[in-house]
Amino acid sequence: MLKIENIEVCYGFIKAIKGVSFEVEKGEIIALIGSNGAGKTTILHTITGLISPKSGTITFEGKDLTKTPAHKILGMGMAHVPEGRRIFQELTVFENLKLGAYILRDKKQIEKNLEYVYEHFPRLKERKNQLAGTLSGGEQQMLAMGRALMSNPKIILMDEPSMGLSPILVSEIFQIIKEVSQDGTTVLLVEQNAKKALTIADRAYVLETGNITLSGKAKDLLADDRIKKAYLGE
Ligand code: ATP
């Protein structure tokens, strides 16, 4: 469904991504794990067209994304939940959600998507008229996910959903990611919290300073001594 082939990304003279390749098949949860500065966010931004790679190709359902403008990529069925959530603080929960569906024309579909979001995030329904800036960190993460789901995406790209959340909220968010996946949305999950990510993912890639150094089935990686030592604190 999504194929990244040998991409290189530079910031000025510094090569942040040094020839990365990986694939996401329809229906999978793929985790991209790695520590601070490994290049995880850069990869997501390159997929969504915010950054152009120096070389390499990215294909989504057979179409070359490196030749597609960023604003068109959402319309192709891809949604991005950015690091730090980036919700509209001055707007209500409901208004934020509605903005997530701006590419859709069909009012019935928008209603249906809203119901889907409220069903998975009852807390957003309870707080639909609250200003987004006054939500707790966990609720803001839910809103960012809900907003992305409002476009009814085929694939959702999530950048560190666990960031700054208490363990209980992290578990709640990861449970919802699993449900969204079971409902048919493909997930690319970028995470520093390797343990949580590997627990829900089908397969995973480990990124270290711009290179993929390990990959495989998530359950095998959870049992891998190198992962245990470097990422699981065991
Ligand atoms: P984190 O988990 O801390 O968010 P990350 O794995 O997402 O890290 P990136 O944010 O992709 O990592 O950064 C990869 C490297 O590229 C880092 O060394 C970072 O300093 C550098 N970098 C990122 N954005 C820029 C930029 N706009 N200009 C220059 N260097 C950048």
Residue 82: inside a domain, yes or no? Answer: no
**Shared domain check, 69 and 125:** no
On the 0-12 / 13-18 / 19+ scale of CB atoms within 10 A, 5 is: middle
Side-chain-facing half-sphere of 230: CA atoms under 13 Å? 15
| ipTM (interface pTM) | 0.91
Distances (CA, A) of 148 to 40, 52, 98, 177: 19, 22, 10, 12
**Same-domain status, 67 and 160:** yes
The last residue of one of the domains, among 152, 171, 195, is: 152
Domain containing residue 191: CATH number: 3.40.50.300
The verdict on 39 and 145 lying in the same domain is no
> Range of 219's domain?
2-77+153-231
For the Cβ of 129 lying below 6 angstroms from any atom of ligand 1, the answer is: no
Give mean pLDDT, residues 34-51.
93
Residue where a domain terminates, one of 129, 152, 175: 152
Q: Given this model, what pLDDT does residue 20 score?
A: 97
Task: Check pocket membership of 210 for ligand 1, CB cut-off 6 A.
Answer: no
Secondary structure class of 223 (helix, strand, coil): coil
- 37 Cβ closer than 6 Å to some ligand 1 atom: yes
User: Whole-model pTM?
Assistant: 0.92
Q: pLDDT (tens digit, 9 = 90+) per residue, 69-120? A: 888 887 899 999 988 778 999 999 999 999 998 888 889 999 999 999 999 9
How many structural domains is the chain composed of? Answer: 2
Average pLDDT of the chain, as a whole number: 93
Q: Which amino acid is at 54?
A: K
State whether 165 and 224 are in the same domain: yes
Structure tokens at 113: 């998507």
